[in-house]
Structure 1
Amino acid sequence: MRAGVPITLPPPLLFLDQNTPQGILPEFISSLAQILGREHSVLALARPRIPVYLEKGKLDFFCYTIPAWSPIKDKLTWSAPLFLKREIIVGPAPLPKSLDEFKGVVIGTSLDYTYPNLNPYFQDKSLVREDAPTDEANLKKLLSNRVSYVVIDEVFFDYFKNNHPEIEEKRQRLLVQEYPIACAISPHSKLTKKEFDGAVQKLKTSKKLEALFKKYNLSVQVL
């Protein structure tokens, strides 16, 4: 079976070691394949190519996504949710207590990434996107004060903070949204939702899913 991951996914979700995908997501896919008793491969692709590959059957599935992020959501089969992804804004303290209090603020965002909850604020210019190629590039800009605010995956922020504890000095977090992360299965895949969800459930009940995050001193709410 062939699984896709976005090449811009931040560590520890994805590491590319000599172009070989490693990290939490490839390890999750490997554990899934083992339960399903299937050979597998993992392709790291530019995010816009993933729906094309799914629609054409070049991928069996893609994880770390939700229907709202997919331009072909109605053509795909969606797995049961895996865990909650927390999207946060990090900026100088004191941060506004709600998104409605931001006015004309430039915020570090990731190229080709959709932020459904922030779109109204981008449209009325309360927030102004400043795209960087990766989440890591955004946090490095924050660290060097080249941008004052970033919107970021809390898992990656906590991982980055392990090596750069100073990044949260005089800064605060504002929760933007929690997303129930799932997997999208291609309409051409031989995988059924029932067998896929069954394998995911085994990973949850065995605590292997939580262990993948704990390996990097991180925690998530498994669903």
Structure 2
Amino acid sequence: MQFRETLLLISVSLFCLPTLASSPLTTVIGENMSAPWYFADSGTSPKGITADYVRALANELGRKIDILVLPKFRIREYSQKNKIDLNCYTSREWAQVREADVFWSEPLFTSKNLIVSNTAAVKSLDQLKKQRIGTVLKYRYPALQDSFSAGTFLRDDSPNEDANLQKLDASRFNYAVVEEIHLAYYLKRHKSSKIQRRGLVIEEIPVRCWLRRDSPLKISELNRAIAQMKTNGTMEKIFKKYR
């Protein structure tokens, strides 16, 4: 009898192992991200660069990754309540997570923030003193935070980068902060835009994933998958698709 009970327990345990190993992970995309990072009209299946490389990452890992689309303030709440396993469009400079709660992956790519103008090209930050600068609501700009706090530069917030550039084109202000890839995508769709094609690079930030420390996925597995995607050209193909 004892042997049969032991055998049954082993059988149940072995049956359950594949289910645990393949249980879905959960990640997140901020709903205020602009195209081509995220297309707000993509419905229940998120589209854009971020969703594409998350799905490629899932394929490389051999695991299912569910993508939630949430307001920025919800991302922090879900992170604190352990409802998200990983976030793969973030950095140590941007994230509002405790270092003790997460592991950080190797960089996926580098994000460049630029200052652009609807008049002459920006040569120096000295041009911006006491000027209103288009920014995205609740976004942190590490290179400009001290100047914003001191009132040297004046923030003018928009809900997302697309709205920010539209206000710049409408001359609501003369300067804006924008991510390089979004700027290129915006100008590709708005041929008559007044915005200068080149901007002043103010920061280059490695974009990484944070991974919850108690996630079933190991950080070493995540890093291997990221390295493979960069080596085999997957990341480059995804970015090329939206250029």
Q: Decide: shared fold, TM above 0.5.
A: yes
1:57 to 79, 82, 101: 82
Query: Aligned pair 1:142/2:168, yes or no?
Result: yes
TM-score for the superposition, normalised by structure 2 = 0.84
Output the aligned Cα RMSD: 1.6
Partner Cα separation in structure 2 for residue 184 and residue 51 of structure 1: 13
**Larger RCO, structure (CA 8 Å, separation 6 or more):** 1
Show the counterpart of 1:10: 34
Structure 1: runs of 5+ lacking an equivalent: 218-223
- The letter of the residue matching 2:34 is P
Structure 2: runs of 5+ lacking an equivalent: 1-24
TM-score for the superposition, normalised by structure 1 = 0.91
What displacement does 1:188 show?
3.0
| 1:139 counterpart SS class | helix
Partner Cα separation in structure 2 for residue 105 and residue 205 of structure 1: 43
| 1:157 counterpart SS class | helix
Number of aligned residue pairs: 217
What displacement does 1:71 show?
2.4
- The letter of the residue matching 1:7 is E
1:65–1:181 CA contact under 8 A, matched in 2: yes
Q: Normalized per residue, which structure has more strand? A: 1
What displacement does 1:112 show?
1.1
* Residues 155-207 of structure 1: CA deviation (Å, up to 9, x unaligned): 10000110113325567511111001111112331111100001111110110
Name the CA shift for 1:171/1:39 in 2 (closer, same or farther; >3 Å): closer
2:116–2:196 CA contact under 8 A, matched in 1: no
Which sits farther off after the overlay, 144-153 or 196-205? Answer: 144-153
What is the percent sequence identity of the aligned residues?
Answer: 34
Query: Aligned pair 1:117/2:147, yes or no?
Result: no
- The letter of the residue matching 1:41 is D
Partner Cα separation in structure 1 for residue 164 and residue 35 of structure 2: 13
| 1:69 counterpart SS class | coil
